[in-house]
Structure 1
Amino acid sequence: MYLSDLLRGLGRRWYFVVLGLLATAALSVGAMRLVPVDYVAQSSVLLLPSSSTVGTGGNPYLALGGLQGAADVLARAMTDDTISTHIAPQGSKVKYTVTRDTTTNGPMLIIMATDVTSDGALSTLNATLAQAPNVLRQLQSSVGAPSNTLIGLGTITQDTIAQPEIKSQLRAVILAGVVGLALTVFGTNLLDALVIRRKREPRTSEAVSTARSDAEPSAEPMAPVVTTPTRWHTIAAGPQDAPREPFPARATLRSTSPERSRPSSTTDEAGIPASAPRGD
């Protein structure tokens, strides 16, 4: 199918195109309402060295080296089922992630909370920030680390207003629009082809019946064909050794009513027909 044929079909059934566009718009609005906007709240926390490492009056930011491994361990521990169930119960639309910030060289974690409401995202972020120090303390206590060597956490940034994120909603609306337009175009052309085929069927059947009536044999019987075999005769006036020539065959006779063929004339020994007068 060429593009010109496609456009002509859409032009012939323009009313179906209009209905399809309206249905596509309704489908897009439905997708927008079914897939709500997500709100995201984010915070950045930094692992701080212990007091024994910094020393009295020392600067903790000068001793951040070697804490990247501890940051990875804490990020993995925050995804434990016990902690995740407490922060984001099963069946709810609340989500949170804790990952190490790979864009920096320091032991920094990025905590991101997502919910369908702005207040829900902020509440989830606060709950995650409250759980992070406790999890870090339990990890160090489980290996018997002295209290003066415990690593701490410091909040660097924290959102106070959740930001809307429309990626999921926009993706659903685009998908609904593409599906609606595809169904409109191909459905309209399919309907146009069916309508044209139905219009051509009576003409085709009429032409076939006419051709069949013309091709039927007539009821009149075929006339028999009578042929007369070629007879060889000799010429009486010629010498006996003269070459013999055949008489031309009689024309094929066609008759609608068969007749008995007349008896052929007989010749005598001299080759002269019996009905011809003889000379003295």
Structure 2
Amino acid sequence: MFSWTLLTALRRRWYLLLLSLLVTAAATYLVVDRVPPTYELRADVVLLPPDALLEEGENPFLALGGLNQALDVLVRAFPPELRQEVHDTTGAEFEVVRDPGASGPIMLVTATAPTPSGVDQALGAVLDATPRILEGIQDDTDVPAEDQIISMVLYQEVTPERSLTPTLRAGVLVGGVSLLAGVLAIAAVDGLLLRRRGRPAADAPAPTA
């Protein structure tokens, strides 16, 4: 019932609907023009066992069992101070998680920034900090240096990926809100005009002599 009444009001006030669409388009364009795209870079970091636990000539990649727990600790050990420093110097954000596509102790690092240079610096800062954070965790638990797990950059992107997701999200949000507000306003105006047109004669002003 409400939807039919709304459609009738929009058809009756088509000129207001056209104006609302123009306002929505203009607002969406302004927001999209002001919200810049972002750039992303990713890298994979693998944890490796200490040389002391390997037999001579043994491939370290064949001895990754048991390092997943260490990776979980490392992921949670990145300090807020590092995130703040990276943001202050590059305008970037970063995320470190266990690589969902890997079964071994591989950490996925994703940096996001408004500029290609910023995202490149941010990713470099995180990768540089990773060995220090991993070493600090083990030093705090008195693990001898020769028994400490080490990290290695397995893969690092060099060309930032341009992402329009924030721009599109902002455009859709503003466009949707603007259009909804316009439609509701048209319905309110239509109802007001109909009520005024339907006033009884007694409410009309008396004619002057």
Which bin holds the TM-score, normalised by the shorter protein? 0.7 to 0.9
Alpha-carbon distance in 2 for matches of 1:142, 1:34: 47
Structure 1 counterpart of 2:57: 57
Is the 8 Å Cα contact of residues 91 and 118 (structure 2) preserved in structure 1? no
Is the 8 Å Cα contact of residues 45 and 153 (structure 2) preserved in structure 1? yes
Alpha-carbon distance in 1 for matches of 2:159, 2:124: 12
Structure 1 counterpart of 2:29: 29
Alpha-carbon distance in 1 for matches of 2:76, 2:5: 59
* Higher RCO structure, 1 or 2 (CA under 8 Å, sep 6+): 2
Alpha-carbon distance in 2 for matches of 1:129, 1:140: 18
Which of the pair is proportionally richer in helix?
Answer: 2
Q: Secondary structure of the equivalent of 1:186? A: helix
Alpha-carbon distance in 2 for matches of 1:85, 1:192: 52
Q: How does 1:91-102 map to 2 (within 5 A)?
A: 93-102=91-100
Structure 1 counterpart of 2:124: 126
Alpha-carbon distance in 1 for matches of 2:83, 2:60: 30
Structure 2 counterpart of 1:66: 66
Structure 1 counterpart of 2:80: 81
- How far did 1:4 drift? 4.6
1:186–1:142 Cα change, 3 Å: closer
Task: Indicate the structure (1 or 2) with the bigger Cα radius of gyration.
Answer: 1
TM-score (norm 2): 0.86
Q: How does 1:1-280 map to 2 (within 5 A)?
A: 1-78=1-78, 80-89=79-88, 93-201=91-199, 203=201, 205=203
1:163–1:202 Cα change, 3 Å: same
- How far did 1:93 drift? 4.1
Alpha-carbon distance in 2 for matches of 1:11, 1:81: 55
Amino acid paired to 2:133: V
Structure 2 counterpart of 1:275: none
Amino acid paired to 2:33: R
1:52–1:11 Cα change, 3 Å: same
- How far did 1:179 drift? 1.4
* Number of residue-to-residue matches in the alignment: 205
- How far did 1:63 drift? 0.6
- How far did 1:15 drift? 1.9
Alpha-carbon distance in 2 for matches of 1:147, 1:8: 78
Alpha-carbon distance in 2 for matches of 1:157, 1:40: 15
- How far did 1:102 drift? 4.1
Is the 8 Å Cα contact of residues 40 and 110 (structure 2) preserved in structure 1? yes
1:2–1:116 Cα change, 3 Å: same
- How far did 1:192 drift? 1.9
Q: Deviations over 1:47-89 (max 9, x none)?
A: 01111112221100111011111111211112x1333233333
TM-score (norm 1): 0.66
1:107–1:193 Cα change, 3 Å: same
> What's the RMSD between the two structures over aligned residues?
2.3
Alpha-carbon distance in 2 for matches of 1:86, 1:31: 29
1:190–1:44 Cα change, 3 Å: same
Amino acid paired to 1:193: G
- How far did 1:96 drift? 0.8
Alpha-carbon distance in 1 for matches of 2:4, 2:48: 69
- How far did 1:202 drift? 5.7
1:14–1:106 Cα change, 3 Å: same
- How far did 1:8 drift? 3.4
Q: Deviations over 1:164-212 (max 9, x none)?
A: 2233322222222221221222211221222222223263536xx9xxx
